[in-house]
Amino acid sequence: MSDFLKQILTSQYEAALAMMKQRIEVCPPEYWDDHVSADTFRQVAYHALFFLEYYLSTEAGYSPHELHTKGGEELGDKASPGLSKEDTLALVEICRTKIGESLAPESDESLEGPSGFSFRKGSRGELHIYNIRHFQHHVGQLSGYLRRISIEHDLSLKLPWVGNGWK
């Protein structure tokens, strides 16, 4: 894969992840377990981070670690309980490292090849775009929730957009 394409993908993964980190950091503790939709803030943040890391791997190469054991197995039908705010921020850092580890070995051939997941049709390159889109969807979900409670409770939460890179 060209260095230019790796740089673009890394930049957009990191921007989305930086926005997630900001949302986690500004979420007041009393809202961490409030429902954002059918799930709580805690559960949505964990779900998004779990799958970001999962899709940066492959189906065969996925190996759960301690935070996945604590947060729950997201591959089932039910939402997992998620993690504490501190552990969720630790998972952000694991995901940031995983971005570099995942993109470094990619080549034109690997990106044109299968996604690495039997249930995800399309190329590995398309999977990276899918992964960013899925993740950013949940960042938007958390952003909307935080904006609403910020207005309703006069919290003045800061939720800046990150256009590219880690901020």
The CATH number of the structural domain formed by 3-152 is 1.20.120.450
Measured CA to CA, the distance from residue 58 to residue 158 in angstroms comes to 35
Tokens 């799958």, residue located? 51
Q: How many CA atoms lie within 13 A of 21 on its CB side?
A: 18
User: Nearest Cα to 57, choosing from 7, 120, 12?
Assistant: 120
Q: Which two tokens stand for residue 102?
A: 């995942």
* Ordered per-residue pLDDT tens for the chain, 167 residues: 578 888 999 999 999 999 999 999 999 999 999 999 999 999 999 999 999 999 999 999 999 989 999 999 898 888 899 999 999 999 999 999 999 999 999 999 999 999 999 999 999 999 999 999 999 999 999 999 999 999 999 999 999 999 999 98
Residue 94 one-letter amino acid: I
Distance set, CA 64 to CA 35, 50, 155 (Å):
26, 10, 36
- The residues that bridge with 123 in the sheet, in sequence order, are 114
How many CB atoms sit inside 10 A of residue 97's CB?
A: 11
| Global pTM value | 0.95
Q: How high is the pLDDT of residue 157?
A: 96
Domain boundaries, the chain: 3-152
